[in-house]
Amino acid sequence: MKLLTVLLMFLFCLNLNAQNKSQVKGPIEYIYDSTKTVSLKAYIFSPAEKEIKKSNPAIVIFHGGGWSIGEPSWVFGIAKKYAKKGMVAIAAQYRLSDQENITPIDAMEDARKVILWIRKNSNELRIDKDRVVAYGWSAGAHLASCAAVFQSTGSEKKINSVPNALILVSPALSINNDGWFKKLLGEKGNPSDYSPAEHLKKNMPPCIIVVGKDDTVTPIHQSKLFHKNMLKYGNESYLHIYDGVGHLFTPSDQPDDGYPKPDKKIQAKAYDEIDLFLKKLGYIE
């Protein structure tokens, strides 16, 4: 994961804000978990009161940022978009790696905890606990996929942290040789133990992956391996590869490890595929 990209790539989603002028409820701030040093927050966006149902599909969104930077507001535009479409959308905060005490292992556990919290509080949040989608881009997609692949260290029995579907955009899915991830782990782990593509199994949630063919930040072989192994174990997986673009749909003739300037037409095609995926599952109309 190249540092310049993780400092800048969050801006790719901001163009969604202009598309979401219809009134939605939120963000409403909740604390879903507290540690000794931080209270982790979830920001809830819901359909307008006249449109919300007693039980609605949910989508929890994890921002990118190389596991080390970012904040929930980066995904507010996406959250508003899906609240407008009838989902309860959650922008999730997670602990950011500091190369000292906090590592991506902590962020992975936070991703699982927020899904557990959503299900535990599904009645209050007016969420169908059996229709919870995890959405992430880049490092956030790693966290979303890890919630599905790796079980929580807790002792939950009746409620689990596995999402019911995955949406992965320019995802980090095979991080065995990712130098930045290894640096963030330090001496606390081996990247291969936290690489979702190599730990897939049967009965995974359905998944869609959208990625640029020329991605230099989260190279396409990662998505291909994840997709291949999903199918190997009989899981439902859709991989959409877009020619002429790299990370976050940046045109291939421009560096994709810097300021993201997505090709708007290709980005729109990818978002349309994501919506078709959600429609197929019956989560949006």
The predicted-structure confidence for 14-73, as pLDDT tens digits, reads as follows 444 444 445 899 999 999 999 788 899 999 999 998 889 999 999 999 999 999 999 999
Averaged pLDDT for residues 135-151 = 96
Nearest to 13 by CA among 136, 166, 132, 96: 136
Task: Kindly tell me the sign of the dihedral angle through the C-alpha atoms of 129, 147, 77, 221.
Answer: negative
CATH code of 186's domain:
3.40.50.1820
Q: What is the mean pLDDT of the chain?
A: 91
- Give SS3 for 56: strand
Cite the beta strand spans of 93-215 per DSSP E: 127-137, 165-169, 207-212
In sequence order, the β-bridge partners of residue 56 are 127
In sequence order, the β-bridge partners of residue 211 are 241
Which residues form the domain of 264?
3-281
For the chain, what is the domain count? 1
Nearest to 23 by CA among 87, 80, 98: 80
Averaged pLDDT for residues 161-171 = 98
